[in-house]
């Protein structure tokens, strides 16, 4: 199946909070288009998060859904996503309530936990990679 040409990051519409509007798609190309369109410092962070996930789970499945990159064990089971907010990037662990230690952000959804990453705040790469490893071993969410 032929891949569509990724959108030009300079012409991508930024939604509320600066989140890139990227068409739904499966594979690495739409995720890389999303990352390329992330505004400012968030672009480098998005690339760094993507690299950590890919290094930690080498056969990870990727997609863009609902204007956010998703990472999973197969194209229909997802364990992590992130989204640009105005002042931070919100990482969602879909089965985060099963991770040890718990990611700090609570959710209205019982199993979901969040990690909010701010520009000038420390980012614990080792802890993030450990959460990614744990999350990839849990049953994913079908979305």
Torsion angles phi and psi, residue 132, rounded to 5? -60, -45
- 85 in any annotated domain: yes
Average pLDDT score over residue span 1-29: 70
Q: Is the pLDDT reported for residue 2 higher than 50?
A: no
- 8 in any annotated domain: no
pTM of the predicted protein model:
0.88
- 4 in any annotated domain: no
- 88 in any annotated domain: yes
Q: Is the pLDDT reported for residue 128 higher than 90?
A: yes
- 107 in any annotated domain: yes
Average pLDDT score over residue span 25-47: 95
Task: Please report, for the domain that includes residue 37, its CATH number.
Answer: 3.90.1150.200
* Total structural domains within the chain: 1
Q: Where are the beta strands (DSSP E) in the chain?
A: 25-26, 61-65, 68-74, 77-84, 88-93, 113-118
Pairwise CA distance, residues 5 & 135, whole Å: 31
- 1 in any annotated domain: no
Q: Is the pLDDT reported for residue 30 higher than 80?
A: yes
- 130 in any annotated domain: yes
Which residue segment(s) compose the domain that 70 sits in?
16-137
Q: Is the pLDDT reported for residue 19 higher than 90?
A: no
- 5 in any annotated domain: no
């Amino acid at each position: 199946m032929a891949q569509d040409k990724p959108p030009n990051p300079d012409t991508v519409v930024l939604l509320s909070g600066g989140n890139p509007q990227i068409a739904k798609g499966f594979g690495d190309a739409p995720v890389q288009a999303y990352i390329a369109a992330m505004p400012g410092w968030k672009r480098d962070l998005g690339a760094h998060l993507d690299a950590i996930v890919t290094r930690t789970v080498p056969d990870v499945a990727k997609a863009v859904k609902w204007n956010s990159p998703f990472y999973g064990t197969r194209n229909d089971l997802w364990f992590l996503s992130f989204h640009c907010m105005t002042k931070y990037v919100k990482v969602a662990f879909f089965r985060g309530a099963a991770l040890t230690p718990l990611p700090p952000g609570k959710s209205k959804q019982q199993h979901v936990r969040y990690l909010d990453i701010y520009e000038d705040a420390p980012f614990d790469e080792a802890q993030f990679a450990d959460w990614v490893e744990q999350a990839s071993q849990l049953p994913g969410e079908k979305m």
